[in-house]
Chains A and B, each alone.
Chain A
Amino acid sequence: MPKMNGGQIIIESLKKENVDVVFGYPGGAVINLYDALYSSDIKHYLGRHEQGVVHAADGYARSSGKVGVCIATSGPGGTNLVTGLANAHMDSVPIVAFTGQVPSSLIGKDAFQEADITGISLPITKHNFLVTDVKELAKTIKEAFFIARTGRPGPVLIDLAKDVTQAEMEFEYPDKVDLPGYNPTFEGHKLQINKAAKKINEAKKPLLYVGGGAVISGADKEVRELVDKAKIPITTTLMGLGIYPENKELALEMLGMHGTQYANLATTEADLLIAVGARFDDRVTGKLDEFASGADIIQIDIDPAEIGKNVSVDIPIVGDVKRVIKELLPYIEEKEMGEWQKYVIDLKKRYPLKYEDDGSETIKPQYIMEEIDKYTKGDATIVTEVGQHQMWAAQYHKYQKPRQFITSGGLGTMGYGLPAAVGAQVGQPDEKVVLIAGDGSIQMNIQELGTAAAYNIPIKVIIFNNNYLGMVRQWQEFFFEKRYASTKIPAPDFVKMADSYGIWGRSIDKKSDLDKALKEAMEHDGPAVLDIHIPQEENVYPMVPAGAGLKDMIEGEK
Chain B
Amino acid sequence: MTHILSVSVLNKPGVLTRIAGLFSRRNFNIESLNVGRTENPEISRMTIVVNGDEKTLEQVQKQLHKLINVLKIKELDQTQIVERDLILIRVKCTRQQRSEIIQIADTFRAQIVDVAPDSLMIEATGTEDKLEALTELLRDFGIAEFVRTGIVALSRGQVIER
Contact = CB atoms under 8 A, between A and B. Distances in A.
Interface stretch (B29-37, B58-66, B93-101): B58-66
Given A122-B21, A304-B62, A308-B55, A127 B68 contact: yes
Contacts of B22: 123
- Give the size range of B's interface with the partner: 20 to 34
Given A123-B21, A123-B25, A304 B68 contact: no
Contact of B58 (A122, A180, A308): A308
Interface string A81-122: 000000000000000000000000000000000000011001
A304 B73 CA distance: 14
Contacts of B9: 181
Contacts of A130: 13-14
A122 B59 contact: no
Central interface residue in B18, B62, B70, B71, by most chain A CB within 10 Å: B62
Nearest to B22: A123
A479 interface: no
**Which of A130, A182, A308 has most chain B Cβ within 10 Å?**
A182
Given A118-B14, A123-B21, A180-B10, A305 B67 contact: no
A181 B10 contact: yes
Contact of A305 (B10, B55, B66): B66
B50 to A, nearest CB: 16
A303 B65 CA distance: 10
Contacts of A123: 21-22, 25
With a 10 A CB-CB cut-off, give which of A303, A304, A307 has the most chain B CB atoms.
A304
Interface string A186-211: 00000000000000000000000000
B18 A122 contact: yes
B15 to A, nearest CB: 10
A309 B66 CA distance: 14
A1 interface: no
A305 to B, nearest CB: 4
A539 B39 CA distance: 64
A303 B68 contact: no
B14 to A, nearest CB: 7
Interface in B43-93: 55, 58-59, 62-63, 65-71
Contacts of B14: 118-119, 122, 130
Given A123-B25, A147-B68, A305 B62 contact: yes
A179 interface: yes
Given A180-B10, A181-B70, A305 B17 contact: no
Contacts of A118: 14
A308 B55 CA distance: 8
Contacts of B55: 308
A126 B70 CA distance: 13
A122 B55 CA distance: 25
Interface string A210-229: 00000000000000000000
Contact of A309 (B10, B59, B69, B71): B59
Contacts of A181: 9-10, 67-71
Interface in A131-157: 147
A181 B65 CA distance: 8
Max chain B CB contacts within 10 Å: which of A123, A305, A308?
Answer: A305
Q: Give the bracket for the number of chain A residues in contact with chain B.
A: 10 to 19
A305 B59 contact: yes
Interface string A291-316: 00000000000011101110000000
Nearest to B69: A181
Contacts of B71: 180-181
Contacts of A179: 68
A122 B62 contact: no
B7 to A, nearest CB: 11
Contacts of A122: 14, 17-18, 21
B13 A305 contact: no
A147 B67 CA distance: 11
A142 to B, nearest CB: 14
Nearest to A183: B65
Contacts of A304: 62, 65
Contact of B68 (A119, A182, A308, A309): A182
Most chain B Cβ neighbours within 10 Å, of A119, A126, A180, A181: A181
B117 to A, nearest CB: 43
Contacts of B17: 119, 122
Contacts of B66: 303, 305
Nearest to A312: B55
A331 to B, nearest CB: 27
A122 B18 CA distance: 7
Nearest to A308: B58
Contacts of A305: 59, 62-63, 65-66
A126 B22 CA distance: 12
Top 4 nearest A-B pairs (CB, nearest first) are: A305-B62, A127-B68, A181-B71, A182-B68
Given A180-B10, A305-B59, 10 more contacts: A119-B14, A119-B17, A122-B18, A127-B68, A181-B68, A181-B69, A181-B71, A305-B65, A305-B66, A308-B59
Interface of B: 9-10, 13-14, 17-18, 21-22, 25, 55, 58-59, 62-63, 65-71
Interface of A: 118-119, 122-123, 126-127, 130, 147, 179-182, 303-305, 307-309
19 contacts: A119-B14, A122-B14, A122-B17, A122-B18, A123-B21, A126-B68, A127-B68, A130-B14, A179-B68, A180-B71, A181-B69, A181-B70, A182-B68, A305-B63, A305-B65, A305-B66, A307-B62, A308-B55, A308-B59
